[in-house]
Structures are given as structure tokens and as C-alpha cells.
């Protein structure tokens, strides 16, 4: 028997009015029907059983009393919930899908809605976002029990889906700063800008440990060292506040440690679908897995008290047991129930990744049952209609509980965890967006912090004859594909999921910043076709075009999935400089008084020896985001270079994976490398 009955959406809508109105209307109509009965679907006119499962609780219900403990409130609310109301809390829909029919939020008792990367309201402003989230919240509050909605986004380098938000360097640049306190401040600003525009939940930080830079998500990692990733877990304190008790502040959001676990350890060539490494298989001993993949989660849970965890798409194949038995993390009872919830005593909730359970072997009922029983609590099943998603998830899970495949105790545990987060966030008292900080989104103060982070993230790899810092009185010749492209310097997860070379956000490109900092003449010629003025110092900004997830895998899919570009061919990712950038470097370095190359990319790029020899200075700039000024600050000595490599810089792609501690470790620049320069005034 198929469990996948597509819900009959033709049925008459339940009466969904704001709670206070609903009760009034029914009493005024003289109906003997209890409001709760109508809201719970009982036929109109039928005397409700008046029990906890049908009544619309009054204001005196314990769960509505903020003076009671969260545990007490959760227990009371749970005791009032029908199975459908419980399972609805475990379902997360996507903004675009549910926007087509927002009434689904109330009809299905949905617990959460998300914006996938680039899924933004038509009015992509802070007010537009807040109005959107609040409209969804109205729907959730109109249900019998009035359980508020959680709204989640990927504010992975600031709330960069929102046009005008402060866009910080991606995590690989933050790893280069080696500054946990700064990263905490970045978390705090990100939280404030996110919450002030509506979303109360951020699917961040990625605690991934990128071991093979051919992985398209390398830039979402703080680096190749699990110790470094653990140290940067301070971002969670910035996001949530110093403890979960601060979550009800309008400056804080629920954080998500992801992707649990081993997402950055997968073997090249084992990628899922047409990805070459992303969502692949992590082949490791339990001991190595604990050291490399699990260790960053220990402080995230024990010290930073992270409120949610997202499993990885990837699989784990224990070498201890002999390879050949990869198990999807979303089905991994030993690691989710066993290690995360039992051994680590994690008391938050586990949110699945985007349709990730569909990668588990078996039919949909099997996928749901296996993942729920493995310990996943909420399911990112974004779609409805013809694509299996949240409506089918709810139907299927209700059926699985009714037939005993999934114990109701498991549902109660999952729902208790989800409700606990909602109480901690203060959503029962203040469900709507607190807009007191809305004008601080993208503020000069926030951008100053981002600029500081950009400067501290710059890693000086080579500096022959103390070429850097330049003098502000120098004439400068700027070239390269990434000199004047804010979309490229922001990278993925910016306005759109994949990011884009034509994406424009408020901020400064590297060229803008050089023009602001230099008092000499500045010439710009992206392809270096313009003559290099005598005595001018060359700055060539090379690097990558934006990508996200597996679309950044080396040798990965060449088709970008993006509603904007309709899947046009995208430049294949190779870790090699483009021919145009290589030519620009050769041209400028042959003619300029000095020649500095900046690499704006999500990972190391290959600089062949013969090209390297032509350069005087080489800088890893990573993906700086909106504040290109931070690059000029170190280029011209306003700040010293202090950044250090968070990942090993290979001589060739063939060296990948290459990490500190490897035998025969012979990179171009080792993990931790970074030259320093003096402070201001240190000129040649």
C-alpha cells in the first residue's frame, strides 16, 4: 500500500481566524461548537469533546505562562497536541513553495519555514523580509494551539541573502584571522541583522574541516584543522548570546552546527550524483573520524551550547569494519542518537538538510522512518505538489506512528526539542519581528568590523624586496578579473544560492578601495590591455567566480542550477588561474615597477613556478565580501599583514588532498604560513 497519498487540497478550508476572533465568531453564531472543535477539523455543530485535544486553550494554560519553566511549558503543550499537530512541528517548508498558499502553515500545523539560498521576498529589504516572516507567523498563530513558527536562513557570512546586509568574509578567511573574539563579534552582528529582518534561526556555522580543497564548500570551512574549527566556534556565542538563555533577545538567533559530521572529509570521486566530492563518502577509522570530524562539535555543544545541528549529506564508511558499507549521516543512529544525543547529551534539535533523506536507500516511508528513528527531529522537506515534500512527509510520518514503525515517544522527544527552542527564543511571548535594530542593518559600524575582518584575513604569502606595503603616494596599475567585481569577491550564498559575477551588493570592490587609498594615479585595465605607466606599481587581482556546494567541486557539474541563469554552462572549477588572469599577471609583472598578485577565491589556487617567479608579492585574499577596503588597508600599510593560512597551499591540484601532518608534506606554502609587515609608515 502506498503511504504517499497526495493530500486532497480540495477540501473546504478550516475556519482560520486569529485566535481571539475565532472564538468570538463561533460564540456569536450561537454554535454549540467549541472553537477548538472547528480548528481541529471536527464537523461544525458537533459538541466538542471539550478535551485537551480539541479545545482552544485559554490564557491560563500553563504553556502560555512565561513565569513557568520551559520544561513545564513544553510538557503542558505537548500533552495537548494531537499527532498531526506534533508531526507538523517536525516539518519545514520552503518560502517560495508555501508562499503560493500560506494557509498550509495553519492547515498542516507547520513548525518551520526556511529561505533556501537566494529565496528572498519580492521586496528584498529588511522591511520586506520582516513583513514576510510576520505574515507566515500570523498563519501559525491562527492554529488551535497558536504555536509560533521558526524561520531559518543561511546567514553564513552575514545575512547575505538580504540586499544591504553587511557581508563578511567567508569562513575560510575568518580562519585566516586566527581571531576567535573577532569571529564572535561577527556572529553578533550577523545575528542582529538577521533577527531584525525576521528570521530567528541561522543555519550556521559550518564546522566542516576541509581536507581536500577540490571540495566546492572549502570556503565554508574555517580550515583544514579541527582545532581551528573548534576555536572559531565562538561565532555561536555571537549568534546565540553567551548562553541559550539569551535567545529571547532581539539581537540573537538560534545557531546550527553543520554538517554533522565529516562533510569535509569525503573522498574525491565519491560525490553524490554529478558532484565529484560533495555529499560523498568519508572513509575513516572511528578514531580518525573522532579527531577530524567530531572534535569541533564537542565545544560547540558543551561550551557554546549550540541549539541545533544539521547532519551532512555525506556518508560514513568505517575502515575499522572494512570499507564497502557507507551509511548516510541522515540515517546514522550510532552517530546521531548514540554520540550526539546520548554521549554528548545534546539537548537541542537536529534539522535535516535539504531533501537529504531522499538519498537514503528505500522508499519514502523507509527514508522517513530510518531518519526519524536515527534521531533527526525536523525535516527540511521544502516542496509540495508533485515533488515529494512536507505534505507527504507529514502524511507518511503520521502513518508510521500509527503502524508502530516510529514510536510516539520518538515524536514526543523530537517535538519537545523543537518547542524548547521556540520557548527559549521567546516566540510565544513575542512571535513577531522586533524591528528595533532594523536601521542598523548594513550600518557603518557593522561594516567597520567587516573591514577589520577582511584586513586580518589577508595572508601575505610572498613579499620579495619588501614590495608591500605600497606607498599611498605610488602610482598604481590595477588589473585582473576580480579587481572590480563585488559579486566575485562575495562568492556564493550572496543574494542568490550560487552567488554570481553580476550580483551587486552595497560595498567596495578591491579597485574601489585602492582608488580610495592611493594618492597617486590609479589605472585600471582588467585584461591589462592599457599601457602600464612608467613607475606604476602593479596589482593584479585574480581568482574564482562564485559557486556553492557541489557546483564548486573541481571536475564537478558544469551546469549551474539557478533560476536566474536557467542552468547555463558555468566555468568549470579547476583551481587553476584562468588564461586571462595568467596573461594579465605576465603582462603587468613584465612592465610595472613592482608586481603584486591578490587571489580572490574560495580556496588555494595553483600558481605555477614560472608565474610565481615573475611576481614580487602574492596575497591570499579569500572571499572578502562587501568591504574591499580591508584589502587596501594592508596593501598600503594602514594595517599590518597578520593573516595565516587556514589550509595548506598546494603546488599542484595533483597534490590534493594535502594537509599539515601528512607524510612527505611538500606544499607551496604550509598550513599556518603568513608573512608579516610593519604597521603604518613602513614604506620601502
Q: Which parts of this chain interact with ligand GLC (CB under 6 A)?
A: 116-117, 154, 203, 258, 353-354, 549
User: Phi/psi class of residue 13: alpha, beta or left (left: φ > 0; alpha: ψ in -120 to 50)?
Assistant: beta
Q: Which is nearer to ligand GLC, 80 or 95 (CB)?
A: 95
Measured from the CB of residue 314, what is the shortest distance to ligand GLC in angstroms? 10
Catalytic residue among 283, 353, 452, 508: 353
Which is nearest to 152 in space by CA: 388, 320, 310?
310
Q: Is 138 in the active site?
A: no
User: Rounded to the nearest whole angstrom, what is the least distance from the CB of residue 273 to ligand GLC in the complex?
Assistant: 12
- For residue 529, list its beta bridge partners: none
CB of 652 to ligand GLC, least distance (A): 29
Three-state DSSP class for 618? strand
Residue closer to ligand GLC (CB basis): 352 or 596: 352
Give the nearest distance from C-beta 216 to ligand GLC in angstroms. 11
The string of DSSP codes covering 318-346 is: ESTT-SS--EEGGG-HIIIIIIIIIIS--
**Has 654 been annotated as catalytic?**
no
Strands in 459-463's sheet, in edge-to-edge order, are 459-463, 617-620, 595-600, 537-543, 476-479, 522-524
By C-alpha distance, which of 611, 631, 633, 630 is closest to 619? Answer: 631
Cα-only R_g, the chain: 26
- For ligand GLC, the closer of residues 106 and 418 by Cβ is 418
What share of residues in the chain are helix, strand, coil (percent, to 5)? 35, 10, 50
To ligand GLC, the closest distance from the beta carbon of 203 in angstroms equals 4
Q: How far apart are CA 114 and CA 547, in angstroms?
A: 21
CA distance 383 to 386: 8
The DSSP element (H or E) to which 39 belongs, if any, is helix 35-39
Q: How far is the CB of 213 from ligand GLC (least distance, A)?
A: 18
382-385 contacts, C-beta under 8 A, 24 or more apart: 382/92, 382/93, 382/94, 382/97, 382/114, 382/116, 382/354, 382/355, 383/93, 383/94, 383/97, 383/355, 384/93, 384/97, 384/98, 384/104, 385/97
Cis peptide before 539 (omega within 30 of 0): no
- The widest CA-to-CA distance across the chain, in whole angstroms, is 92
| Residue among 81 and 388 whose Cβ is closer to ligand GLC | 388
Q: Which of 90, 211, 92, 96 is nearest to 497 (CA)?
A: 96
| Catalytic annotation, pick one of 97, 251, 395, 549 | 549
**Cα angle at 563 between 561 and 567, to 5 degrees?**
40
Helix (H) or strand (E) segment spanning residue 463:
strand 459-463
Q: In this complex, which beta carbon is closest to ligand GLC, that of residue 382 or of residue 637?
A: 382
Spatial CB neighbours of 455, under 8 Å, sequence gap ≥ 6: 630, 631, 633, 634, 638, 639
The angle subtended at Cα 295 by Cα 293 and Cα 300, nearest 5°, is: 110
Give the CA count within 13 Å in the CB-facing half-sphere of 328.
24
- In the complex, what is the shortest distance from the CB of residue 492 to ligand GLC, in angstroms, rounded to a whole number? 11
- Which residue, 281 or 607, is less far from ligand GLC as judged by CB? 281
φ/ψ bin of 279: left (φ > 0), alpha (ψ from -120 to 50), beta (otherwise): left
Judged by beta carbon, residue 221 or residue 396, the one nearer ligand GLC is 221
**Residue number with CB closer to ligand GLC (139 or 256):** 256
Q: Where are the alpha helices (DSSP H) in 303-443?
A: 333, 364-374, 390-402, 408-424
Residues listed for the chain:
684
Nearer to ligand GLC, 186 or 595 (CB): 186
HEC letters along 80-96: HCCHHHHHHHCEEEEHH
Neighbours of 638 (CB within 10 A): 17
Q: How far apart are CA 434 and CA 35, in angstroms?
A: 30
For ligand GLC, the closer of residues 152 and 646 by Cβ is: 152
Would you state the cell numbers that stand for residue 415, as one nine-digit string?
517535538
166 or 359, CB closer to ligand GLC? 359
- Report helix, strand or coil for 498: coil
Q: How far apart are CA 188 and CA 545, in angstroms?
A: 29
Residues 6+ apart with CB under 8 A from 208: 217, 220, 221, 229, 258, 259, 263, 264
Of 549 and 616, nearer to ligand GLC (C-beta) is: 549
Active site residues: 353, 549
Amino acid at each position: 500500500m502506498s503511504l504517499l497519498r497526495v493530500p486532497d487540497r480540495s477540501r473546504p478550508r478550516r475556519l482560520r481566524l486569529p485566535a481571539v476572533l475565532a472564538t468570538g465568531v463561533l460564540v456569536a453564531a450561537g454554535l454549540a461548537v467549541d472553537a477548538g472543535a472547528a480548528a481541529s477539523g471536527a464537523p461544525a455543530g458537533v459538541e466538542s469533546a471539550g478535551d485537551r485535544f480539541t479545545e482552544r486553550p485559554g490564557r491560563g494554560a500553563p504553556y502560555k505562562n512565561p513565569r513557568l519553566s520551559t520544561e513545564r511549558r513544553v510538557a503542558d503543550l505537548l500533552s495537548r497536541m494531537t499527532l498531526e499537530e506534533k508531526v507538523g512541528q517536525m516539518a519545514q517548508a520552503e518560502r517560495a513553495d508555501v508562499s503560493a498558499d500560506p494557509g498550509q502553515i495553519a492547515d498542516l500545523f507547520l513548525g518551520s519555514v526556511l529561505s533556501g539560498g537566494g529565496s528572498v521576498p519580492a521586496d528584498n529589504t529588511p522591511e520586506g523580509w520582516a513583513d514576510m516572516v510576520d505574515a507566515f507567523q500570523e498563519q501559525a498563530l491562527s492554529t488551535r494551539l497558536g504555536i509560533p513558527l521558526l524561520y531559518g536562513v543561511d546567514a553564513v557570512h552575514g545575512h547575505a541573502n538580504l540586499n544591504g546586509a553587511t557581508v563578511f568574509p567567508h569562513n575560510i578567511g575568518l580562519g585566516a584571522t586566527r581571531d576567535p573574539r573577532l569571529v564572535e563579534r561577527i556572529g553578533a552582528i550577523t545575528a542582529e541583522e538577521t533577527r531584525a529582518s525576521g528570521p530567528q534561526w541561522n543555519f550556521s556555522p559550518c564546522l566542516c574541516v576541509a581536507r581536500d580543497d577540490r571540495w566546492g564548500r572549502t570556503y565554508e570551512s574555517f580550515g583544514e584543522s579541527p582545532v581551528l574549527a573548534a576555536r572559531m566556534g565562538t561565532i555561536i556565542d555571537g549568534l546565540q548570546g553567551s548562553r541559550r538563555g539569551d535567545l529571547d533577545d532581539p539581537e540573537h538567533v538560534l545557531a546550527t552546527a553543520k554538517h554533522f559530521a565529516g562533510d569535509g572529509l569525503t573522498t574525491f570521486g565519491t560525490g553524490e550524483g554529478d558532484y565529484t566530492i560533495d555529499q560523498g563518502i568519508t572513509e575513516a577509522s572511528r578514531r580518525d573520524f573522532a579527531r577530524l570530524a567530531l572534535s569541533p562539535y564537542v565545544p560547540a555543544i558543551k561550551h557554546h551550547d549550540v541549539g541545533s545541528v544539521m547532519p551532512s549529506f555525506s556518508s560514513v564508511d568505517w575502515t575499522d569494519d572494512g570499507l564497502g558499507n557507507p551509511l548516510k549521516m541522515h540515517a546514522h543512529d550510532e552517530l546521531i542518537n548514540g554520540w550526539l544525543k546520548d554521549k554528548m547529551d545534546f539537548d537541542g534539535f537536529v534539522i535535516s538538510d535539504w531533501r537529504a533523506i531522499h538519498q537514503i536507500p528505500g522508499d519514502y516511508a523507509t527514508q522517513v522512518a530510518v531518519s526519524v528513528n536515527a534521531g533527526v527531529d525536523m525535516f527540511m522537506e521544502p516542496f509540495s505538489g508533485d515533488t515529494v515534500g512536507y505534505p507527504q512527509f507529514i502524511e507518511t510520518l503520521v502513518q508510521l506512528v500509527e503502524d508502530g514503525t516510529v514510536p510516539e515517544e520518538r515524536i514526543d522527544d523530537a517535538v519537545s526539542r523543537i518547542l524548547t527552542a521556540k520557548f527559549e527564543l521567546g516566540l510565544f511571548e513575542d512571535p513577531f519581528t522586533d524591528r528595533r535594530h532594523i536601521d542598523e542593518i548594513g550600518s557603518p559600524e557593522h561594516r567597520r568590523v567587516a573591514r577589520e575582518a577582511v584586513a586580518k584575513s589577508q595572508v601575505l604569502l610572498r613579499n620579495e624586496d619588501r614590495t608591500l606595503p605600497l606607498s599611498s603616494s605610488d602610482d598604481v596599475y590595477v588589473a585582473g578579473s576580480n579587481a572590480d567585481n563585488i559579486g566575485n569577491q562575495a562568492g556564493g550564498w550572496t543574494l542568490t544560492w550560487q552567488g554570481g559575477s553580476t550580483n551587486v551588493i552595497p560595498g567596495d570592490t578591491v579597485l574601489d578601495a585602492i582608488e580610495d587609498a592611493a594618492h597617486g594615479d590609479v589605472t585600471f585595465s582588467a585584461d591589462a590591455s592599457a599601457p602600464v605607466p612608467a613607475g606604476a606599481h602593479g596589482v593584479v587581482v585574480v581568482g574564482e567566480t562564485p559557486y556553492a556546494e557541489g557546483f564548486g567541486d573541481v571536475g564537478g557539474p558544469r551546469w549551474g542550477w539557478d533560476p536566474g541563469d536557467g542552468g547555463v554552462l558555468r566555468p568549470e572549477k579547476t583551481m587553476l588561474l584562468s588564461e586571462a588572469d595568467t596573461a594579465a599577471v605576465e603582462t603587468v609583472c613584465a612592465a610595472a615597477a613592482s608586481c603584486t598578485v591578490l587571489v580572490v577565491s574560495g580556496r588555494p589556487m595553483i600558481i605555477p613556478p614560472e608565474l610565481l617567479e615573475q611576481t614580487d608579492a602574492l596575497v591570499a585574499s579569500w572571499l572578502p565580501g562587501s568591504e574591499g577596503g580591508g584589502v587596501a588597508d594592508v596593501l598600503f600599510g594602514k594595517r599590518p599583514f597578520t593573516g595565516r593560512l587556514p589550509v595548506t597551499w598546494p603546488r599542484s591540484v595533483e597534490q590534493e588532498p594535502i594537509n599539515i601532518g601528512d607524510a612527505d608534506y611538500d606544499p607551496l606554502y604550509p598550513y599556518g604560513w603568513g608573512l608579516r609587515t610593519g604597521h603604518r609608515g613602513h614604506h620601502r
